[in-house]
Structure 1
Amino acid sequence: MPHLYVEYSANLPGLPEQQMLTELVSAVCSHPSIVDEFDVKGRIAATQQYVIGTGAGPRGFIHADLRLLSGRTPEAKKELSDLIAEVLRRLTPHPMGMLVQVSVEITDMDRASYHKSKL
């Protein structure tokens, strides 16, 4: 914990996956509520099959979900969301004429049922 999942529509050519993940994990680790940088795990995946609304025209999306153990304040969650959104907006391509949606969600994981081991 934390786990950072990034999913994006495959019609965003040139999205710099590794750079984006590196900058996102660095942004999350920079927040004072994150105790150990080793705990932050990030992954990214392009989605081939998707539908965005019902209208015509090219559309794309990128969405990040940061999953944290429960207990952080709403202010801390908002700060983390803003840090993630800034990186997504800066690095997500937006081809001419395409509407691209950027979204971030902070999800609480239940402390009582979460398990982590180190091998």
Structure 2
Amino acid sequence: MPHITVDYSESLSDAFDRRGFALELHPLTAEVIKDTVDNCKTRFRRVEETFVADGAPEHAVIHVEFVILQGRTETVKAELSHAVLELIRKHVASTPGVMVHTSVDVSELGKAYRKHVMV
């Protein structure tokens, strides 16, 4: 916890610095939701095809989904969303002719969530 999934358009593969993003995302997340960096887990999923508006190829998408433990206020969740949107801008190189649609969603894990780390 938190579990972070980042879906991004294939056309951004070279423009999106995923490692740099994650390296800054984890401390930011830990600070905002009062957790530790060690608990942050991010996976990136390149999406072969995204379709925005009229389907024009100049549209690309980055969507970040957080699933966190219950108990954070809506204010904290909104703070995290806003901070992550700003962070994305730092890690996507300008690509002439491409409009990048970014979004963030923060939801909570269910009460039945359990975790185990194998060593």
- Give yes or no for contact 2:25–2:84 (8 Å, CA) kept in 1: yes
Amino acid aligned to 2:29: V
Q: Which has the higher helix share?
A: 2
Residues 47-78 of structure 1: per-residue CA shift (max 9 Å, x gap): 11222222535110111011111221011101
Structure 1, gaps ≥5 residues long: none
- Give yes or no for contact 1:4–1:64 (8 Å, CA) kept in 2: yes
Give the fraction of aligned pairs with identical amino acids, expressed as a percent: 26
Alignment TM-score, normalising by the size of structure 2: 0.88
Aligned residue number for residue 102 of structure 1? 102
| RMSD, aligned CA | 1.5
Moved over 4 A (4+): none
Structure 2, gaps ≥5 residues long: none
Q: Hey, what's the Cα distance between the residues in 2 that align with 1:23 and 1:43?
A: 14
- Give yes or no for contact 1:94–1:100 (8 Å, CA) kept in 2: no
Q: Hey, what's the Cα distance between the residues in 1 that align with 2:112 and 2:10?
A: 34
Aligned residue number for residue 40 of structure 1? 40
Aligned residue number for residue 67 of structure 2? 67
* 2:93 corresponds to 1:86: no
Alignment TM-score, normalising by the size of structure 1: 0.88
